[in-house]
Chains A and B, each alone.
Chain A
Amino acid sequence: METKTDQSHLKAMHPRLRELLFTLRRFMKNPLSVIGLSLVVIFGLIALLAPVLQPPKYADPYKIPHTGFRAQPSPPSAEHPLGTMQQQYDMLYGLVWGTRSAFRIGVAVVAANLLIGIVLGLLAGYFGGALDEIIMRITDIFFAMPFLVVAMALVVAVGRGLKAVVIVLIILGWPSYTRVLRSDILVTRGKDFILAARASGASHLRIMFTHILPNALYSVLILASLNIGTTILTAAALSFLGLGSETGTADWGQIISLCRGWILGTAGNPFAYWYVVFIPGFVISLFVLGWNLMGDAVRDVFDPRMRRR
């Protein structure tokens, strides 16, 4: 329970700061969201400190160093703390620098999706009519595109590499953002304060960015935070299929791709190469789990029905 002094101390602050504190406090009350946040922060630190943790061997830091060319992976040892993959690529190096790749992909894709989604969603939701219809039908067309076919076509066009992966994910991701934002905008548009703003003489642009967007952004933000995890998974899947970066790049999907042949182990011992499957899988799962938990927590905090004040 708050004491009287707490209240006055709060009142003295700028109200937006107060809002932020309130939101953060609610966020922190949920143990799962704290776990999620910690995971994300840990991975973030790893990504940030990658040059420190695993100093690059080559000019391009994303090329995984390999000692030797033996095909079979070797188990964790002093020299390779997490073992090696096929052709002796170092697992630890790959995972650490792969975290950086993951963040780069995730942030790039989600940011681009958000941008496209906001622009198109605003146009469709606010103006309605023919513009709305056109944009929604275009969105429908994109929804209908088969994922792999588009991916492969793009790889042919743009060439292999992370750039292709990012473009594919952006192309296939923006429709959901547009749809979600548009529906929130439709709800907000019907509220009286928009009419009041029009009666006050506000221009369309002003209404869109001062009134509608701040109120309609919640669902999209929740979608974005939940999406980072799935984006990484999808990127990994693409790399696994060979459509991503070239062999030996530090990218999680690549790592799993390199370990593809060893999943089943040897004839007598299916777990002979467990470290090659389990370790990267575990790391990716943790990353995605962290983002999912955070996304859930963000949703709980921003859910209008639960925003009791």
Chain B
Amino acid sequence: MSRTLVDVRSLKKYYPVTGGVFRRRIADVRAVDGVDLSLDRGECLGLVGESGCGKTTLGKTILRLHTATDGRIYFGQDPAQVESVEAMLRSTDPAERTRGRTLSRTMDLNRMKGRALLALRQKIQVVFQDPTNSLDPRMLVKNIVAEPLTAQKLVSAREVESRVLELLGIVGLTSDHLMRYPHEFSGGQRQRIAIARALATSPEFILMDEPTSALDVSVQAQILNLLKKLQAEFHLTYLFVTHHLLVVKYISNRIAVMYLGKIVELGPTADIFARPLHPYTRALLSAIPVPDPDTKREKIILSGDVPNPINPPAGCRFHPRCRHAREICRTMEPPLEKADSGGRTVACHRWREI
């Protein structure tokens, strides 16, 4: 079993914008515009960014809830094979590329179909943001939690109930809650039900799409602690999407910062908070309100609004709002390059100087 669980290469997700009389495609909303990411088993990667940056779309595309426009997603594949396929796809020889494409049909989550895809559904699960919307209001809790099992026919009808009870116990609910409807529960309890559902098939990887944003502060702490406990107990891998930086600091090992569809900085959590390299990361961190009236930091107030992913700025996407922008930033897009040996990468032309 290799260390790398999820390997995402050059992922793109565009939504066509139609216009005109015949509804032709006139532009694209570039929600995710070329993202490379990899997750190791057992780690929690935090994905942060503001609205419009594409973090939610990225998460859902990795789960194949949206089909990517371009790019490959390798889940649980042998890294050597992945590298060879990628090399084939990059080669200049068209025959090689065709071979690569044929091979990737069985390895790339984006192109799988049928039974292979269903097999992966057992290993990948998701917890959504709003527990009111993510649970079917017309289904009993028992059926909601059992759904992954019954949809994939993993257990027999008799075992379903005992497995559901086991799951409810793991998340801190009781058998009382079994035969009830979601609207009879509080927000925190509903989120626990959603977590129980995610654990039903004993997955390896769970996408957490802002799981605590819709909850009260005191309940948020309960859910975060539960998630941490579950990760340790079941050796899960999380992709934790959120906009709340202090939450992501508490729960994740590494953080990736996204802006307008691209990752601008990536690295271990402690490092990023101690020494943010990208100007956007710096602004983001300085804007977090700190619950301590005695600290006074210098706040970097960004000018302008979060831009529109339909027409991203040329060159570095952040340059219109960046204090340190220079000519090169306006013309050339910075690649994601290594900043040190500890797994830090940053996409900025001038990160060394600022």
Contacts and interface: CB of A to CB of B under 8 A. Distances in A.
B121 A215 contact: no
B179 interface: yes
Given A199-B124, A200-B125, A202-B151, 4 more contacts: A196-B194, A197-B136, A200-B121, A202-B147
B121 A211 contact: no
Residue from A15, A198, A199, A210 whose CB has the most chain B CB atoms within 10 Å: A199
B126 interface: yes
A43 B119 CA distance: 56
A309 B136 contact: no
B136 A215 contact: yes
B96 interface: no
A246 interface: no
Contacts of A203: 151
Interface in B194-224: 194, 197, 200-201
Given A14-B179, A215-B137, A196 B197 contact: yes
Interface in A76-110: none
Interface in A203-243: 203, 206, 210-211, 214-215
Contacts of B130: 192
The A interface is mostly helix, strand or loop, or mixed, namely helix
30 contacts: A14-B179, A19-B181, A191-B133, A191-B134, A192-B133, A193-B133, A195-B126, A195-B128, A195-B134, A196-B128, A196-B135, A196-B147, A196-B194, A196-B197, A198-B65, A199-B65, A199-B124, A199-B125, A199-B126, A200-B121, A200-B147, A201-B121, A201-B151, A201-B152, A202-B147, A211-B136, A211-B139, A214-B138, A215-B137, A309-B181
Residue from A15, A193, A198 whose CB has the most chain B CB atoms within 10 Å: A193
Nearest to A304: B137
Contacts of B181: 15, 19, 309
Interface of B: 60, 63, 65, 118, 121-122, 124-126, 128-130, 133-140, 147-148, 151-152, 179-181, 183-184, 194, 197, 200-201
Contact of A15 (B129, B148, B179, B197): B179
Nearest to A307: B183
B134 A199 contact: no
B137 A197 contact: no
Contacts of B184: 309
A258 to B, nearest CB: 49
Contacts of B194: 196
Given A15-B179, A201-B122, A201-B148, A195 B60 contact: yes
A193 B135 contact: yes
Please classify how large the interface on chain A is, using the bins under 10, 10 to 19, 20 to 34, 35 or more: 20 to 34
B133 A206 contact: no
A8 to B, nearest CB: 12
Contacts of B122: 201
Residue from A192, A196, A197, A309 whose CB has the most chain B CB atoms within 10 Å: A196
Nearest to A193: B136
A165 B134 CA distance: 45
A210 B65 CA distance: 19
A275 to B, nearest CB: 50
Contacts of A200: 121, 125, 147-148, 151-152, 197, 200-201
Contacts of B201: 200
Interface in A1-50: 14-15, 19
A196 B126 contact: yes
A202 B201 CA distance: 13
Contacts of B135: 193, 196
Contacts of A210: 139
A206 B151 contact: yes
Contacts of A201: 118, 121-122, 148, 151-152
5 shortest interchain CB distances as A-B pairs: A201-B121, A200-B148, A192-B134, A202-B151, A192-B133
B310 to A, nearest CB: 21
A309 B183 contact: yes
Contacts of B133: 191-193
Contacts of A215: 136-138
Nearest to A199: B126
A206 B143 CA distance: 13
